[in-house]
Amino acid sequence: MRIRSALFIAIVAGIAATSLAFISSAGAEDKPASEAPKHMSSAVFAGGCFWCVESDFDKVDGVIETVSGYTGGHVANPTYKQVSHEDTGHYESVKVTYDPDVVSYNQLVTYFLHHIDPTDASGQFCDKGESYRSAIFVSTPDERATAEADIADVSATLPSPVVTQVINADTFWPAEDYHQDYYHKNPLKYRYYRAACGRDARVKELWGEEATGH
């Protein structure tokens, strides 16, 4: 059973009725496809609330686009309601499209680990349940080796074991339109949710000055 914070549920309920007003392609507001370089790669990360993971990665130089979605489960084309309330096996996740000439996969993995709580096996911050666990989804043996090496490195600096999983990449299903770029569309609600959930406070407690750019 997934336990989404009452705060998150209230926010989603409040914006669902007006979500059609915000229909747009994911990431199109900030990073139009016409600006994307020809040579791009992608990576998928799960770190709890995908609104927050998306916002964090959008601050990284070399990241072209971020898309919130679901992956790792057994249900085709899942909905938010299914993922958050049923046993679909999916993780809330974010697909990051990036220019490897500007930022490396290793740098993205390191950044990701320093912007979550990789020691929490029950979820992330105020959101608990299987769909909110942290994971790195890898597409190649090199990506797996990089992710596992980075996890080993950070494990040596933390007081508790790292439980972030490294999982073979599976089909990525984009989330509903109202979830995309949520932090841009609803900045006040987003900032309130993020602060009330304790995300940045916990990240700072774990990583100190190593975690910046929230």
Joined together, the tokens standing for residue 83 give: 């993922």
Distance CA 138, CA 166 (A): 7
* Under 8 Å between Cβ of 120 and 208: no
Stated as kind and residue range, the H or E segment containing 212 is: none
- Alpha-carbon distance 111 to 105, whole Å? 10
| Bridge partners for 90 per DSSP | none
- DSSP E strands in 134-207: the ranges are 134-138, 165-168, 173-174
Asked if 49 is an active-site residue, the reply is yes
Token couple for 155: 């494990």
For helices 187-197 and 6-16, give the axis angle rounded to 10 degrees: 170
CA distances from 124 to 176, 182, 203 (A): 21, 18, 11
The residues annotated with a catalytic role in the active site are: 49
